Structure 1
């Protein structure tokens, strides 16, 4: 037995693990592998969370950018998805004007300002949802207050809600001033009015006007119906001028001359009595071959106000410099009213050559036959100006 044991080497002596140690080693390796798997899972979950966060952040940025983009496209703002809207059907009344080229957002802002809808975003949402919304026409609309946004879109699509506007053109305005007046009340842009005026045939401008619309836009109150255009608007005003000229028995070959003289009288005189005297004084000057020396004519040619003229302006060479040129200006300087036209047709007989307004508030005007007498009146004006300069 001892020889047997002496002839063999034990597993312990050979450095081999015993069955117990081998089992323990396997268990330790398994534990390590489990720990590694858990660590890998933790890292994977962490990476996944970070990826989700990055994607979510990118999504938020993209959403913000495109919501701002599409909000700007419709004219609205990037408010949150909760849209505040009235329940409707609304009450009371408001008039809102839709201008040519208005986006859904621009219309919405006007409706909010007028109290028709609750928010711009509510309207732009309803506008985008209605495939006919882009067919809303320029014009003035009578709507209810506190309407549901979708109902407001429907109401703007209903021509029955469009209302006529009134434009009052006062005497003595230039064509440019009249365009601005029309544009401020209607939806007709100034550029459209200028384009229409440049086409005499389209607006019925008589040949006697020589293509110049100045003086031919009669001052009156006009009803502007829904759908009115620059051409229809100016045509009505030119037609009214022709009507008044015919009603006063003026021969057609005298139309332009009468309008030129009447425009001067309109800008120079305040009362009808003064206008008839100014009309006579103009005839007296023309008859003597004198220069008219009317500030309003010079100012028109320079595009200035009559009160902004200087002595240096009198030296500028223009067809409207009545201090250098003899005779009438080439065309009217404003649109005269019927009183001024009648003053030209029926001037008060008298020897006057000069006139000057001595009180700019009341329009009191004094007339003179001699230059010395005129200088006295001018001194009276200068005194008034000095006393009222503050």
Structure 2
């Protein structure tokens, strides 16, 4: 071979690395081995810890199956219970809060037992606030069921019919709530305590709303009357009646309530009142017997001539122009709505011609009104009761 050929072959062979490079390579290989060993050791330790946790967990779960033990149950009475215990469930009370209340009252043995029973009953969230009569030493499960039963709820229910005067309402409150009548009357005089607004007259007539009230059994006269006033103000506000018009709206509505009893006639009476106040009768008088009767301390009947001529009665709207000083009773929502939105019509007069059926004739013609009055007299001649609108 030529020297040229030998040199070409030698040029293709790698040059021998230096001793420094060889030592560095060995160190790199050793470091890589150490890192692999560390990762392996960590993985082994984690695996051992996981296995140990699984073993301990399995032991705790399975142990009761072999040694006959279990998580202790919350203390609970065997039931069914006895006697009667009043319990007050507060507004917004949680299951735990109810349980605490029942434990203090001696109804259930432990709060936890009640909470467990509460959680197990899908209807428990429907338990209402209020006073309940329960038995002492009940099973927690039975206590939850008892609180869901309306029959166990103690409450005071008072119904005020449409048209009732304040004195009738006071008597009803005294009777149902077993409160002395004088205490009810005294409560009515405390305007601030019962929430009478400034626009109410000195006489609070008309502000005790006609409705059915559900109250706590120990509600006093002030609380009861305040609920009625609140119902009235709430109704007026919901119907967007301005504060400075509320007294007049209640007055008109109370007259409607006493004059007719048929739904279709309320709006017409409201229109008659409006037309009368606009002087459709040319005398400025609304001329309602219901207001005269109120001033005489009665709810119905046909006023006698002497009563019609009595100017000392401030509620005599056949003599005194405009509306009476105050409402003459508790109007219902329908009568208030009639005042706010009466139908169009030229009616200026009306008379109920049959008190049994409530048939009422409306007209804008005075001559026709006189004929309708004659129909009423004919009805009176054959019927014992009398009441003219």
Distance 1:319 1:253, change over 3 A: same
Mapped to 1, the partners of 2:164 and 2:134 lie a distance apart of 34
| Length, aligned pairs only | 240
Taking the TM superposition and a 5 Å limit, the aligned residue runs for 1:13-162 are none
RMSD: 2.5
- CA drift of 1:189 comes to 2.1
C-alpha distance in structure 2 between counterparts of 1:371 and 1:92, whole Å: 71
Question: Which of 246, 267, 290 is residue 237 of structure 2 equivalent to?
Answer: 246
Distance in 1 separating the partners of 2:299 and 2:210: 20
Contact 2:276–2:285, Cα closer than 8 Å, also in 1: yes
2:159 aligns with 168
1:210 aligns with 2:201: yes
Any gaps of 5 or more consecutive residues in structure 2?
A: 1-81, 85-130, 136-151
Match of residue 194 from structure 1: 185
1:373 aligns with 2:368: yes
- The answer (yes or no) to whether the contact 2:251–2:328 under 8 Å persists in 1 is yes
Determine if contact 1:170/1:220 at 8 Å carries over to the other structure.
yes
Structure 1 residue ranges, 4+ long, deviating more than 2 angstroms after superposition: 140-144
Structure 1 residue 141: Cα displacement: 11
Q: Would you say the 8 A contact 1:162–1:226 is kept in 2?
A: no
2:351 maps to 1:360: no
Distance 1:197 1:226 in 2: 20
Q: Which residue of 2 aligns with 1:339?
A: 334
**Superposed counterparts of 1:245-264, under 5 Å:** 245-264=236-255
Where in structure 1 are there 5+ consecutive unaligned residues? Answer: 1-90, 94-139, 145-160
Work out the CA distance in 1 between the residues paired with 2:134 and 2:258: 41
Deviation digits for residues 351-374 of structure 1, max 9, x if unmatched?
Answer: 111011111111111101122101
CA distance in 1 between partners of 2:226 and 2:257 (Å): 22
The corresponding residue for 1:313 is: 307
Q: Secondary structure at the match of 2:301?
A: helix
Query: SS where residue 185 of structure 2 aligns?
Result: helix
SS for the counterpart of 1:209 is coil
Deviation, structure 1 residue 163: 2.4
Q: Does 1:229 align with 2:220?
A: yes
Q: Is the 8 A contact 2:290 2:300 kept in 1?
A: yes
Alpha carbons 1:272, 1:343 under 8 Å: kept: no
Distance 1:327 1:287 in 2: 10
Alignment check: 8 A CA contact 1:281 1:352 kept: yes
Q: Is the contact between residue 297 and residue 322 of structure 1 (CA under 8 Å) also seen in structure 2?
A: yes
From 302, 320, 323, the equivalent of 1:328 is 323
Q: Which residue of 2 aligns with 1:349?
A: 344
Give the Cα separation in 1 of the matches to 2:179 and 2:305: 39
| C-alpha distance in structure 1 between counterparts of 2:303 and 2:235, whole Å | 33
Could you tell me the TM-score, scaled by structure 1's length?
0.58
The aligned residue for residue 94 of structure 2 is none
